[in-house]
Amino acid sequence: MSLRINSLKILNSDFLKLVTLILLSAFVFFRSLSIFFVGDNLDHIDFAWQSLTDLSFHYFRPLSVFTLVIDKFFWGYNFTGYHLTNLILHTTNTLLVYVLAKHCFSARAIAFVSALLFLLHPIHSSSIYWISGRADMICTGFYLAGLIFFISYKNSESKRAMLYSLACYLLALLSKEMAISFPLVLSAYVILNTDKAKRIRNVVKATWPFWVASGVFVGFRLATAGMSSLTGTVHTNLEVAHLLKNFSVFLGFLMIPGGHIEIGNFLKSNPQVFVVFSFLVLALLLLLAKPIARNRKLMFCSLFILLTLLPVMRLAMRWYLYLPSVGFCMGAAYLIWKLHSLNSHWKKVAYFALVIIALTYSAFLILEQNRWLKSGQISRQVSYQIAEKIAQENIDKFMLLSVPAEYKETPVLIHGLEPIVNFRLRSEFDYNKLVEIKSLTQVSIHGEYEPAFVRNSVIDSISSNLSLSSANSFFIFPEQQDIISQKAVIKVGTKISYVTHELTVLELNDAGQAIKLSYFIKDSTWQVFEMESNELKSLEPLKIE
């Protein structure tokens, strides 16, 4: 009898639930350890030490950068090690979600479902699979730890817990700036857990050290980086319509488990559908506002989402949702638990809903993982071919006609072409001369990757038309800040100028994306190549003589 009782205790224990989450994380994500370097991974790794001392840069994330220094010390250029660190970070955050939800709801079942949904939510793929995207995970870890310590302080009045919470907040700020929302979340928690008569006094008493810390941090950043520390280079669009659109996009990313790319392209091609969808989302929020306001727990989850999104509302990026998704997952878990509590019939519905959600999340997460693995394969393949050509012909300045920058919106060689190729030259060809490497155009691939995804129609010796042959693919311009921040829109006739060349948009698809360009080469010192059937061929006739 005692053995049976002990077995039941173990089955219901926190320990078993946490071990289950760890094992599930290892099972779902182990393939991500094989993703090759993509995007600006190597650029961030190689310049991590320099970044630590650059106080004038608009991003100040010394703690996140320092993890790359530590990884490089242990792993060198073994990409598996960096992905292992990312996996450990995400698993740790999953366990912290469990602890936070248990504090908020006082129920192990809700805590476990919250952590399970957080572990598997497909929106986290960029943060988990992208080495350079770990800042969101590190920030979230300290953010959640700080919130847990703060709740402990409110329950026990322990000054030590308060100091721990403040320390975690400062560490979160040093990981990523969006942690600046922390005092707002604390204030929301105090307000929702205090009688009306004492709310203002309790909020001030409990949160003033965090507001002071926020003021000191903002003052420090203004002194070291000026206004760019608040706006960055792309966080500049403050139009109300733009902010509302981004908010609806964020909500869509949280609620729709997969297919974001296809849905996004459909909405771009059919703006009237987007308007209707936005009004429906707004109407749904208004309908739910009163029931949510009456429920303190759901209100906290909703405010957590909104307040953590405030610092990043100016630019809709998937990885910004890593932290806000905590509130979404806890709220969803609470609703499933409420359904489970109604009667035996609804209990079965709740279990069924949980299984369907978990399986759906897992399926889309695996699909995202496959995309990142494919991106890594393309990055490895293309960078090797370029490095091999450079080593064979001793080229000093290499330009690729069109580079696969993205594969189904996962980074391939966007921003990172030169560092990755020079890394391959050093490590595999013993070629230590630093080579200048650029791309004339960059393509977001949305079909099967084909080396010859550009049709080239020669106009004269220095210019040509480029039309994409791969279905649904389009040209992107990642260095154009106005386009990224959506302050400028690409149109037929738009000219985009670089030091080495100039591009002119000739044709757009239904979603407003460039599918045909003309280019003009300004600098005759660059040797231009194009990829054709897995072979690099020189475009000598297109050079200025």
Give the domain ranges of the chain: 47-341, 372-542
Residue 217 token pair? 């941090």
Q: Which of 192-196, 249-253, 370-374 is predicted most confidently? A: 370-374
**Which band of pLDDT confidence, cut at 50, 70 and 90, is reported for residue 58?**
confident
Classify residue 518 by its DSSP letter.
Answer: E
% helix / strand / coil in the chain, to the nearest 5? 65, 10, 25
415 torsion bin: left (phi>0), alpha (psi -120 to 50), beta (else): left
Please report where in the chains the tokens 């995007």 appear, as a residue: 39
Reply yes or no on whether the pLDDT at 10 is more than 70.
no
Reply yes or no on whether the pLDDT at 8 is more than 50.
no
In 446-534 the beta strands, taken as DSSP E runs, fall at 454-458, 463-468, 474-476, 495-497, 501-508, 514-521, 527-532
Tell me which of 466 and 452 has the higher pLDDT: 466
Residue 519 token pair? 């280019």
- CA 128 – CA 144 distance, rounded (Å): 17
**Which band of pLDDT confidence, cut at 50, 70 and 90, is reported for residue 248?**
confident
Measured at the alpha carbon of residue 439, what is the angle toward residues 437 and 441, in degrees to the nearest 5?
175
**Which band of pLDDT confidence, cut at 50, 70 and 90, is reported for residue 543?**
very low
Q: How many CB atoms lie within 10 A of CB 359?
A: 11
- CA 343 – CA 341 distance, rounded (Å): 6
| Rounded mean pLDDT, 511-527 | 85
CB 259 within 8 A of CB 328: no
Read off the pTM. Answer: 0.90
Distances (CA, A) of 262 to 55, 81, 82, 250, 463: 40, 32, 30, 16, 33
CB 476 within 8 A of CB 405: yes
* Nearest of 22, 260, 24, 220 to residue 122 by alpha carbon: 260
